[in-house]
Amino acid sequence: MKQVKISFVIPCYRSEDSIEDVLSEIEKTVEQRPGYAYEVIAVNDNSPDRVLQVLKRRGEADRRIKILDLAKNGGKHAALMAGYAYAEGDIIVSVDDDGQCPIDKLWELLEPLFHGYDISLAKYPSKRQSAFKNFGSLVNAKMAQILLKKPKELQLSNFSAMKKFVCKEILKYQNPYPYIDGLFLRTTGKIANVLMDERERQTGSSGYTFLKSLNLWLNGFTAFSVLPLRIATLLGIVFSAAGFLFGIWVVVHKILTPDILAGYSSLMAVILFVSGILMMMMGLIGEYIGRIYISINNSPQYVIRETVNIGSIPSVEKNYDEKNSLS
């Protein structure tokens, strides 16, 4: 029987204390099953700690551990994209570096891929995180539901497995600001959820600051949908119609009761309200234009400073070569 190869892609950021346990658990888990081989693609997202040194030490002893060192911190999704480009496995599994993903449940996670599904995502019943993050997750889930047309019951998470063709398809997305969940949802409708418990974070604290989360959120908001623009247009129509009717009413009112005082306060309220809405919409439009600009500017998703234990060229370039050789 042909061996199935699994690629584990791990974005690494501030995880010098936890990454070794994650690597050991992957080794222990995959070696339990005959017929499976694996590689790890650890992507150092320009972490300020010594995680790169830790990875390199492991990589020296174990060639299955491949390392990408990114020149800039670009966030988890860009780091994942970099890792996907070098993944050679039949199945690509994304794992966090902090030990929160229950890697011992790997085989349960992979099960749906052998039964017609293209992507399998861990589903955690109770989220082990702060109230603030819970609120963030809720907003994110609602956003994905409305803007990315995520089925309601489907839960997105940090522990996922996909077939090779999905990974290849995702890599075609070359714009800056990748958003993996959006890419999953636009690639296939066959996405499974597997129920399992998320673990507590062992060491350190979340690498996601408020600003980074906000960034990611705006990203998902604007990268895959023009619905916010449509809503802006609709709101514009509603407000101008309301303004028009209100204007008529004011004139009629003035004619009927000529001695009424001019209402500056109501005027101010309306001006403030409408100009606020206008500014918000202009900001939104600016966001889209900025993104178009950055895209045509060819801003990279990530920049690789160094690779370790990687001999092959990445799939993106492979695709590119294939295209070129056709012409």
| Binding footprint of Mg ion on the chain (CB under 5 A) | 96, 98, 100
Cβ atoms 81, 46 nearer than 8 A: no
- Residue 198 CB, shortest distance to ligand UDP, in Å, is 9
Binding partner of 140, given Mg ion, ligand UDP, none, CB within 5-8 angstroms per partner class: none
- Residue 124 CB, shortest distance to ligand UDP, in Å, is 11
- Residue 97 CB, shortest distance to Mg ion, in Å, is 8
Q: Could you please report the per-residue DSSP string of 187-214?
A: H-S-EEEEE-PPPPP-SS--S--HHHHH
Other CB atoms closer than 10 Å to residue 77's CB: what's the count? 21
Nearer to ligand UDP, 127 or 254 (CB): 127
Binding partner of 178, given Mg ion, ligand UDP, none, CB within 5-8 angstroms per partner class: none
What are the φ and ψ backbone dihedral angles of 25, each rounded to 5 degrees? Answer: -70, -35
Cβ atoms 160, 194 nearer than 8 A: no
At residue 47, the 3 state secondary structure works out as coil
- Residue 28 CB, shortest distance to ligand UDP, in Å, is 19
- Residue 41 CB, shortest distance to Mg ion, in Å, is 18
List contacts with ligand UDP (CB under 6 A): 11-13, 15, 45, 73, 75-76, 79, 96-98, 100, 206-208
Cα(176)–Cα(304) distance, rounded to whole angstroms?
15
Binding partner of 11, given Mg ion, ligand UDP, none, CB within 5-8 angstroms per partner class: ligand UDP
Could you tell me which of 285, 295, 299 has the C-alpha nearest to residue 230? 285
Binding partner of 55, given ligand UDP, Mg ion, none, CB within 5-8 angstroms per partner class: none
Cβ atoms 19, 54 nearer than 8 A: yes
Nearer to ligand UDP, 45 or 118 (CB): 45
